[in-house]
Amino acid sequence: MVQYKDAQGQPQVLPVDGESHTVTVPDLVPSRRYKFNVYGMWGPQHALYYALSIAAPVPPEEEQPSQPRLGELTASHVTPTSVQLDWTVPEGTFDSFTVQYKDAQGQPQVLPVDGKSRTVTVPDLVPSRRYKFNMYGVWGRKRLGPISTDAVTGEGGCGHWKDGQMDGWIGMWMDGWVAVCPHRALHCALSIAALAPSQEEPPSQPRLGELTASHVTPTSVQLEWTVPEGTFDSFTVQYKDAQGQPQVLPVDGGSRTVTVPDLVPSHLYKFNLYGMWGQKRLGPIYTDAVTGEVGSPLPFPYPRDCAEEQLNGPGPSRETLVFLGGDPEQPLRVFCDMETDGGGWLVFQRRMNGLTDFWRGWAEYARGFGNLSQEFWLGNEALHALTRGRSMELRVDLRTPDEAAFARYRDFAVAGPEDDFRLHLGAYSGTAGDALGYHAGNPFSTRDRDPRGRPRPCAVSYTGAWWYRNCHYANLNGRYGNPRDHQGINWFPWKGFEFSIPFTEMKLRPQRD
């Protein structure tokens, strides 16, 4: 067996079978000296001893890509109202580009371009005008450049009349300039520069009609409205929830009805509807409605979790309201998975596309962040409230485009803030391997708070926030898509430390025997 002390000075023991002559000691801290004692067991009371002292090397830094370089910018395919720009990138790659120029009124304009493009057409220009175009390359947080070029847009349109004999010809346009062709002209050609696009007569302002409430249930109200004149781009419904907090429900411009969900029974609501027309907000029109009373058939009028919401009636996976402890004064908006393994799961973590930043501090992880329909962390305070004094189970779903695995744990609970949201877990089952069991009994830590007081917190070393031990076998809040060792979204028994899992969900429900 191998004995040593970890970075916190706690003794660690690594058992090794008698036929082995090598072993790897994991989860060490960079640039720290360790003393390893190796004991050979022989018989019931005999041990041979060997000691070795060594410093763990600093992990090699990943070689940074060299800075890219912009080449030459040229203008081609010039028309009276557009210019095509082409450019080269002799070295490296850029994340994106921006083209900057001034329009005919001298106002700065910016045209974004994706990093893979090498050409773009600048539209909506004015004929016979000189433009200067500056191009910048964006690389990380740096803006490189510019490279520049000039171009003069082409002349305006030309009219030709060749058939028939005319006594004369008059051309008129918006600025009042008049040209007269010679008397008895057989052919006349006239070029007109700097014409503005034709202006269509603006549509008349639309008008909102009447707003009414129908199909009222204990938890929803259907609104219907009319638009006697014109059309709107979109609508918004505004109201206050049972706690007096303002709520906004967007509706597309073609709709004339919407159902307002997640209301509280026997409560008076006032709904205001606004119509959006261009940059204007018109309205409001409004109506009142009292939600219905809760009838006896509803088993859980204020469901504590998704399992009780499921018992209120079947339905698809969805966002809904639960009430912490069944208290109508403590609503919590959640996402319920009603399909997986019998349903009734309350999802509290999801990674799926990397659009949400999980590199956050203690306060944000405590209260939660993100978008319930995309990526999010529900919040440690909510996890504590949902698991306090109840027998809950945890399920972790992991997916790649070709594979799927899961881990399931009994007796899942998260302690309160006074105990640093410590993780409690019971028995494991599943197909992904028991990675989270390594973290059981550990406090939650973030980049700005490490209850263990390490010189370099695990959350900083591995760019995440988790119930780190020394440091992790699972790191589901790590950097999305990062394949570096220990740095990505890892579940060691399933995919190791050098594969970042593209989809994860963590979810809970009352324990089912």
Q: Report the C-alpha gap between 16 and 37 in whole angstroms.
A: 13
Whole-number pLDDT of residue 43: 56
Q: Report the C-alpha gap between 140 and 441 in whole angstroms.
A: 39
Is the confidence at residue 463, as pLDDT, over 50? yes
Is the confidence at residue 178, as pLDDT, over 50? no
In the numeric block, the tokens 């485009």 are attached to 401
Q: How many other CB atoms sit within 10 Å of the CB of residue 455?
A: 10
Residues across the chain: 513
Percentage of the chain beyond pLDDT 70 is 85
Q: Report the C-alpha gap between 111 and 100 in whole angstroms.
A: 6
Whole-number pLDDT of residue 169: 52
Half-sphere exposure in the Cβ direction for 437 (13 Å, CA): 13
* Alpha carbon separation from 400 to 373, 494, 504 (Å, rounded): 19, 11, 9
Whole-number pLDDT of residue 368: 96
Whole-number pLDDT of residue 295: 62
pLDDT level of residue 200 (50, 70, 90 thresholds):
low
Q: Report the C-alpha gap between 506 and 439 in whole angstroms.
A: 15
Summarize the confidence of residues 30-38 as an average pLDDT.
81
Q: Report the C-alpha gap between 393 and 376 in whole angstroms.
A: 20
Whole-number pLDDT of residue 202: 65
- Among 236-240, 323-327, 377-381, 485-489, the range scoring the smallest mean pLDDT is 485-489
Q: What is the DSSP letter of 488?
A: S
DSSP-derived secondary structure for 167-203: S--EEE-TT--EEEPPTT-S-EEEE--SPPPP-PPPP
Model confidence pLDDT, tens digit, residues 468-498: 998 999 999 999 998 888 889 999 999 999 8
Whole-number pLDDT of residue 47: 45
Is the confidence at residue 240, as pLDDT, over 80? yes
Summarize the confidence of residues 198-224 as an average pLDDT.
82
Whole-number pLDDT of residue 216: 82
Higher pLDDT, 257 or 438: 438
Summarize the confidence of residues 244-253 as an average pLDDT.
90
Please enumerate in sequence order all residues whose Cβ is within 8 A of that of 339, keeping only pairs 6 or more positions apart, or say none: 316, 317
Whole-number pLDDT of residue 301: 87
Name all domains of the chain by residue range, CATH numbers in brackets.
Answer: 2-55 (no CATH), 73-152 (2.60.40.10), 211-290 (2.60.40.10), 306-510 (3.90.215.10)
Higher pLDDT, 338 or 180: 338
Is the confidence at residue 196, as pLDDT, over 90? no
Query: If we measure between CA atoms, which residue out of 60, 58, 61, 53 comes closest to residue 31?
Result: 58
Model confidence pLDDT, tens digit, residues 106-153: 888 888 888 888 999 999 899 989 999 999 988 887 888 899 999 999
pLDDT level of residue 168 (50, 70, 90 thresholds):
low
Q: Which two tokens stand for residue 148?
A: 């520049």
Q: Which two tokens stand for residue 182?
A: 């010679």
Helices within 247-315 (DSSP H only):
306-311
pLDDT level of residue 206 (50, 70, 90 thresholds):
very high
Going by their DSSP bridges, the two strands 142-152 and 46-55 should be labelled as unpaired
Is the confidence at residue 284, as pLDDT, over 90? yes
Range picked from 51-60, 324-333, 380-389 for highest mean pLDDT:
380-389
pLDDT level of residue 158 (50, 70, 90 thresholds):
very low
Whole-number pLDDT of residue 143: 83
Percentage of the chain beyond pLDDT 90 is 54
Model confidence pLDDT, tens digit, residues 64-111: 568 899 999 999 889 999 999 999 999 888 888 889 999 988 888 888
Whole-number pLDDT of residue 49: 44
Q: Compute and round to an integer the Cα radius of gyration of the chain.
A: 34
Torsion of CA 231, 232, 233, 238, to 10 degrees: -160
Query: If we measure between CA atoms, which residue out of 438, 496, 503, 434 comes closest to residue 466?
Result: 438
Higher pLDDT, 41 or 104: 104
Q: Which two tokens stand for residue 325?
A: 């402890």
Range picked from 198-202, 280-284, 420-424 for highest mean pLDDT:
420-424
Q: Are 288 and 279 in contact (CB under 8 A)?
A: no
Whole-number pLDDT of residue 48: 46
Helices within 388-497 (DSSP H only):
458-461, 492-495
Is the confidence at residue 364, as pLDDT, over 80? yes
Q: What is the DSSP letter of 364?
A: H
* Alpha carbon separation from 202 to 206, 230, 277 (Å, rounded): 12, 12, 12
Q: Report the C-alpha gap between 495 and 87 in whole angstroms.
A: 42
Mapped to the 3 state alphabet, what secondary structure does 210-253 carry? CEEEECCCCCCEEEEECCCECCCCEEEEEEECCCCCEEEEEEEC
Asked whether the CA dihedral 201, 126, 89, 148 is positive or negative, the reply is negative
Is the confidence at residue 197, as pLDDT, over 80? no
Whole-number pLDDT of residue 503: 98
Mean per-residue pLDDT of the chain: 85
Going by their DSSP bridges, the two strands 490-491 and 474-475 should be labelled as antiparallel
Model confidence pLDDT, tens digit, residues 287-333: 999 988 876 567 888 999 999 999 988 788 999 999 999 998 899 99
- Among 14-23, 347-356, 382-391, the range scoring the smallest mean pLDDT is 14-23
Whole-number pLDDT of residue 204: 86
Higher pLDDT, 108 or 163: 108
First to last CA, the chain: 39
Q: Which two tokens stand for residue 366?
A: 């405590």
DSSP-derived secondary structure for 323-340: EGGG-TT-EEEEEEE-SG
Is the confidence at residue 270, as pLDDT, over 90? yes
Q: Report the C-alpha gap between 210 and 285 in whole angstroms.
A: 7
* Secondary structure (3-state) at 63: coil
- Among 33-42, 208-217, 221-230, the range scoring the smallest mean pLDDT is 33-42
The model carries a pTM of: 0.49
Whole-number pLDDT of residue 35: 85
Enumerate helices (H) and strands (E) in the chain, giving the number of each: 5, 34
Q: Report the C-alpha gap between 191 and 214 in whole angstroms.
A: 63
Query: If we measure between CA atoms, which residue out of 60, 63, 38 comes closest to residue 48?
Result: 38
Is the confidence at residue 181, as pLDDT, over 90? no
pLDDT level of residue 10 (50, 70, 90 thresholds):
confident
